[in-house]
Amino acid sequence: MQRVSVDPAKCQGHARCLAFAPDVFDFDDEGYAFVPDDRAQFEELPNPVKLAVANCPERAISVSEVAE
Q: What is the CATH number of the domain that holds 56?
A: 3.30.70.20
Which pTM was predicted? Answer: 0.92
5-43: per-residue pLDDT in tens?
999 999 999 999 999 999 999 999 999 999 999 999 999
| pLDDT digits 0-9 by tens, 42-56 | 999 999 999 999 999
Q: Which domain holds residue 17?
A: 2-65
Number of domains observed in the structure of the chain: 1
Phi, psi of 53 (to 5 degrees): -60, -45
The DSSP symbol for 43 reads S
Contact indicator for 7, 33 with CB cutoff of 8 Å:
no
